[in-house]
A and B are shown apart, each in its own frame.
Chain A
Amino acid sequence: MDLRRFGFILLIIIVLFGLVVFIGQVKSPPIVIITSMMATTIAVATPLTLGALAGVFCERAGVVNIGIEGMMLSSAFFGWLSAIYMFHVFGFPVGVSIWTGVLFAILSGMLMGLLLAVLSITYKVDQIIGGTVINILAVGLTGFLNRQLFFGRGSVFGGNVPNSPGVLPTLHVPVTEIFSPLCHSAECLQVVTSINKVFDQKPVAISAILLVFIAHYILFYTRWGLRARAVGEHPKAADTVGINVFKMRYASVIIGGGLAGLAGAYFTIESVPSFEPLLTNGRGFISLAAMIFGNWTPIGAWTAALVFGASQALNINMQLFRDVIPPQLAILQQSYVVGLIPYILTMIILTGIIGRTTPPAADGVPYEK
């Protein structure tokens, strides 16, 4: 991640934030808008961050993973489904049910990772095809099961989709409690409570940020990371120093699947307590864009995910401030116009405004002993 790229990201985020502050200032003070934008950015960037990390793990070890979208979708479904079963069928309390849901989301992501690993590492299926298989399988499987389990003949829930036990709670960071005694004015208090909002995030969002740094440490500072990257750059060289290429690749792809699974949990267990077919809506692919933009590094990918997060935060805030959008910016009143921004940004970024990125040398190449 070079300075030029950081500068580019900073610039986009400032422009997006600036636009919202400019429009919304008649309704709210800038500090409130900026902090709420930041909070939203971090939250909505969560699945992109995790998806990009999934990509980093797979591709650093030499397996192209375009199946992240499908991995997210299927784990969103199975996580949600298992939470419902735990709560309604087995009668567990809400908390246990929700966390079981998260666990199952991760497990089903890992299972999808295992499938990709078997296809691409053991059977050396073209990795783009392997990933496509997963994407199609996920759409078909979740759509079919969603229909059959809830609406099918003799289905357990007899045609009603039961309420999910709920979503993960927000974790409160006591910024306000600590700093408010230092405040002597109402403005100061408002600043402190606004800033507090940025830190009050839900568990998956917080773990995503922690995982960015954990992944960075693992990949670049541990034995496992050195070996995983070696396998993705020059598997034969790794083999000659006694590293088991197949084992390393399997492990990396399954870990990647687990991360995509956690991203799935964000959709149906952290964000909203419901599932609908195709709800991931291309975020797996935007994750891949973030991974490439971040030059296959966890921190780079995260900052790129934040750009996409910021553009979605813009989207959300534009709806809040719809009635005060000045007439010369009337085009922003159209929700589909702002809704397009993340996708347009993806295209601009990927068509090379940021310069060349270098994928791992053996990315996508099956290893033949």
Chain B
Amino acid sequence: MTNKEVVLEAKGITKRFPGVLANDKVDFDLHKGEIHALLGENGAGKSTLMNVLYGLYKADAGEVRVEGKIMELHSPKDAIKHGIGMVHQHFMLIPVFTVTENIMLGAETDHRAASNENPLVKLDRREVAQKVRDLSHQYGLDVDPEAIVGDLPVGIQQRVEIVKALYRKANILILDEPTAVLTPQEAEDLFRIMHELTAQGVSIIFITHKLKEVLKVADRITVMRSGRVVGTTTPQESTEQSLAEMMVGREVILTVQKGPAKPAETVLTVVDLHVKDMRGLHAVRGVSFEVRAGEVVGIAGVQGNGQTELAEALTGLRHIESGRFFLAGKDLTGKPPRVITEAGLANIPEDRQRHGLVLSYSVADNMMLCDYYQPRFSKGVIIQQNLVDANAARLIKEYDVRTPSAFVATGKLSGGNQQKVIVARELSRPVKLVVASQPTRGLDVGSIEYIHKEIIAMRDRGVAVLLISAELDEIMSLSDRIVVMYRGQIVAEVDRKDATREQLGLWMAGVHETA
């Protein structure tokens, strides 16, 4: 399948940002018809390299060759002209436009024989729609050109992005973390499409940090770490373990080490909870479950199936329409967050930057946000700075927060360290229940390892843990029991040892046993 014709070659790419060397003499090449995975942690320089290839950044040094010829890339326009297409992690689609309109945007007259520069040229929606239909048949993409993009599921939106690139005659596709937003089944579909594309001569750069996927679909794998290429290998020559070590630069424990759970008394009881989302639609529709001390209950589900609203309701941030919930026997329905926090709830919120931290506050201040008013930190209304500093110093050490000092604005830290600040604050208090929403989203392998260890440590100390995650791997490796949410309802509940990825994936997609 892979032959040796090089379609894209980057040599000695160096890109410097103030204070950071994002790419340091990076070499990369792509063969015709191959899937070349680019693997690396956050901040390893993958995105910088791709943005250079796509013309969004200008490299300080180095050259890019497309089919042997040196290319000057000043803007995405140049990249598009040379047949490079990119599917961004956050889709670059306009939700209120139709599929056709999104695809023709910026290339409105490309389907005609002669290009037309007149800004008032009439749009040929019908002709372009036909072209979209043809492309979608050719590569097995199944996209309806008349649909409004905002109405389409995420997996289909991604296909629209792919058609958009193909419509611009891309023969080199850059897929940036394409599986981050997909269900396991949608990811399978994507891999099928990727193989269909390469079979027809398209070359793909597949950016990811998921090791399993790389081993499954890539022809070659290049690993990056702190701005440099560590090496290039193939799936045949590598294992998850070896790739993880290349990424992190040290030995990594990929599987969470944990003993059997020793569930004790019930800590959290949720009874027939109904919650509306921001638009006033019913997001959580009659959810009931229990979490016991000393166990991790994982809530699996594709994002947007009510998990966010459930977590917000339990932490007192969202109005509960009906139903009740109890923490250690105490009815906390409709109570304000402070009462819930004092009752023993630790909250690791989904959006750490918006709901977990005050980014402009120092690390020390963020570490006392939950109980600054208590004697731990305050005498009456006066905050005792020495107590705050001592607390920060202790937590920074204990939770291994990498920060220049306790007085740095938290926004300046890396994502992993920001999350550690939250974890330190929440888990250092005497709590009975931890609600952790997407606790490792966007973090690198090292930080994930650390946070997983902390969660299991809490469990072993007899704390109840409610884990909400869209990452099936995370749910599988941490949970003792798994609950699947689909469209605001619990569609399945299984013991960890009876759960399989395939079955969970089907439940997450709303498919029930047909037996």
Contact = CB atoms under 8 A, between A and B. Distances in A.
Interface in A171-222: 218, 221-222
Interface stretch (A23-31, A231-239, A299-307): A231-239
B106 A241 contact: yes
Nearest to A243: B106
A233 B94 CA distance: 7
B120 A223 contact: yes
A42 B380 CA distance: 68
Given A221-B123, A226-B123, A233-B97, A241 B92 contact: yes
Contact of B77 (A226, A237, A242): A242
Contacts of A237: 91-94, 105
B75 interface: yes
Contacts of B278: none
Interface string B270-304: 00000000000000000000000000000000000
Given A222-B120, A223-B119, A241 B105 contact: yes
B76 A241 contact: yes
Classify the secondary structure of B's interface with A: loop
B120 A239 contact: no
A93 to B, nearest CB: 35
B472 to A, nearest CB: 29
Q: Most A CB atoms within 10 A — which of B88, B92, B104, B164?
A: B92
Contacts, number: 68
A245 to B, nearest CB: 11
B94 A218 contact: no
B94 A241 contact: no
A234 B123 contact: no
Contacts of A236: 92
A234 B120 contact: no
Contacts of A234: 92-95
Contact of A224 (B56, B75, B120): B120
Given A222-B121, A223-B120, A230 B94 contact: yes
B97 A230 contact: yes
A223 B121 contact: yes
Contacts of B56: 240
B107 A241 contact: yes
A184 B353 CA distance: 80
Contacts of B506: none
Contacts of A240: 56, 76, 86, 88, 92
B216 interface: no
Nearest to B120: A222
A229 B119 CA distance: 14
B89 to A, nearest CB: 12
B108 interface: yes
A222 B123 CA distance: 5
A161 B120 CA distance: 44
Q: Most A CB atoms within 10 A — which of B77, B93, B106, B164?
A: B106
Interface of B: 56, 75-77, 80, 86, 88, 91-97, 101, 104-109, 118-123, 164
17 contacts: A221-B122, A222-B120, A222-B121, A226-B101, A226-B123, A229-B97, A230-B97, A233-B94, A234-B95, A236-B92, A237-B91, A237-B105, A240-B88, A241-B76, A241-B80, A242-B75, A242-B76
Interface of A: 218, 221-224, 226-227, 229-230, 233-234, 236-243, 358, 361
Given A234-B92, A240-B88, 8 more contacts: A221-B123, A226-B105, A236-B92, A237-B105, A239-B76, A240-B76, A242-B75, A243-B106
